[in-house]
Structures are given as C-alpha cells and as structure tokens.
Amino acid sequence: MAHFETTDIFKGAFLLSNGGNLSGISFNDRHIATFTLTGKNLHKLDSDYHSGRALVNPVMLRESLNHLRDLLFDMRDRRRRNANHERSKTSHHHTRS
C-alpha cells in the first residue's frame, strides 16, 4: 500500500475519488495543509494527474473535494476556537491578578 502526501487539494480529491484513503491532515508554520493518503496505485494516479491522462467520475471528484474542504474548514474553526479560548484564559488570568 502506497503512502502519498500533497498540498494540492484538487490532487488530494482526485486521489480520494480513485480509491485513496485520507490518513491525515497536517499544517506547516505557514498554515498550509498537507494531505496524507494511502492506497493502491497512488503514484500511477499522480503520474496520470500530471500528464493529463487522468480520468475521474466528476460526481466523485466533487464529493471528495467538498469532503476535504469541509475537513479544512472544521480544523480551521477548531484552531481558532482553541486560540480564542487560550487568549481569553490568559486575559482573564491577568485581570484577576
């Protein structure tokens, strides 16, 4: 089973729509998401994607793209809530001291 990483959401959606499995999303210090996928033939699918030979079911591609976007927005919102919570804890602590 192949392991593949990409920061390209469209490529990630293409790989998902062709049988890839999302195994994780991580962010670098510039807040750029990296999608980690596993599955069979991911490197061949990547080659097809870059060469213009890729074939895809458009409904599956749209669903995969929407799924990745939803995950990104959920993660972004969760990170913002956590940051706001930490700021309010710090500011509340300083006002009580």
Instruction: Select, from the ranges 24-33, 59-68, 83-92, the one with the highest average predicted confidence (pLDDT).
Output: 59-68
Q: Tell me, what's the pLDDT at 94?
A: 57
Cα separation, 27 vs 86, in Å, equals 19
Q: Tell me, what's the pLDDT at 92?
A: 59
Confidence class of residue 70 from pLDDT cuts 50, 70 and 90? very high
Residue indicated by tokens 């995950």? 71
Three-state DSSP class for 46?
helix
Confidence class of residue 36 from pLDDT cuts 50, 70 and 90? very high
Q: Tell me, what's the pLDDT at 52?
A: 96
Q: Which position has the higher pLDDT, 70 or 84? A: 70
By the 8 A CB rule, do 38 and 16 touch? Answer: no
Please, is 80 exposed, middle or buried when counting C-beta atoms within 10 Å of its C-beta (0-12, 13-18, 19+)? exposed
